[in-house]
Amino acid sequence: MQKRTLGSSGLEVSAIGLGCMRMSFGDKPIGTKQEMVTLIHQAIDRGVTFFDTAEVYGPYTNEELLGEALAPYKDKVVIATKFGFDLYPDARPGWRGFNSRPDRIRQVAEESLKRLKVEALDLFYQHRVDPDVPIEEVAGTVKDLITEGKVKHFGLSEAPVEAIRKAHSIQSVTAIQSEYSMWLRDRENDVLPLCEELGIGFVPYSPLGRGFLTGKINENTEFDSSDIRSHNPRFTKEAIQANQNFVFFLEELAKSKGVTPAQIAIAWLLAQKPWIVPIPGSRRLDRLEENLGASDVQFTKEELQNTAKALSTIPVMGDRY
């Protein structure tokens, strides 16, 4: 597995990380804890060193899973986790409202350290910008945690340009996490240019378009009520049918290169910038291996230009939320 550095921070991670949310939170069926521990170990065996979680996933259970699975490898991996919500574990989905007040950030840091069984959090993201707390105050709190040795790197998730710039002026931002894929490219207009300007890495989640870009979803696919796609505008039967043209294009491109549509989708992200590190989620070894195989797929400059031109002509039906 190739390595990449997130911006100018010096934080080196595997070129493809592993999004772990669905290992203990989200759509069913979810595998047993031991099955997920085994899969995490299999990912490490294949060169993955970057793992993404959050206290809200579960809540808490996903961090606990990673804490157990990664304990023997804590000096060899990078774990990203997040703060930013008030949690209600007995309710569903488990959180209610933003909360990035300094005392809450500190509380989350202390509790995440215990669940992850580490002495310092490698990458600590604000999960979503809190409209009631100035981003400078958030960045200052994380800066203090870094000074105290409890956090190593600061990140922001789904943050707008203005918030990123303000936060970075207080504490260097190592990574921005946001949804980005071949069928959701609006980050190219604002956030990605800013990341390049400021030397910030970019971590795309849902790089496979919540599974749509694998080519394995059609208008007959049924989603469990626990699946976020069951109430996602891009996954109505009408939208799925309309968006099949996107899949047809991916399938043809994949066929021409002798790989799968999923590998094309991830490889395309890798080809955009050397500081982009996608984090596809997986709960099965065959899917994990398929995703990691994308690191071997190369695009020529002409192929990227032709792909960009083609993508600009394919309409996508449905908002992402």
18 near 52, Cβ under 8 Å?
yes
Q: Which of 11, 41, 6 is nearest to 23 (CA)?
A: 41
**Cα-Cα-Cα-Cα dihedral of 99, 185, 264, 177, to 10°?**
-20
Residue 267: C-alpha distances to residues 11, 230, 259, 293 (Å): 21, 27, 10, 9
212 near 247, Cβ under 8 Å?
yes
Buried b (16+ CB within 10 A) or exposed e, 57-71: bbbbbbbbbbbbbbe
Query: How far apart (Å, rounded) are the C-alpha atoms in residues 269 and 4?
Result: 13
Does residue 206 come out as left (phi exceeding 0), alpha (psi in the -120 to 50 range) or beta? Answer: left
266 near 37, Cβ under 8 Å?
no
Spot the catalytic one: 57, 125, 180, 205: 57
Residue 135's CB is within 10 A of a number of other CB atoms, namely 24
CA dihedral sign, ordered 79, 80, 84, 87: negative
157 exposure class (CB count in 10 Å sphere: 0-12, 13-18, 19+)? buried
Is 321 labeled as catalytic in the residue annotation? no
User: Active-site residue numbers?
Assistant: 57
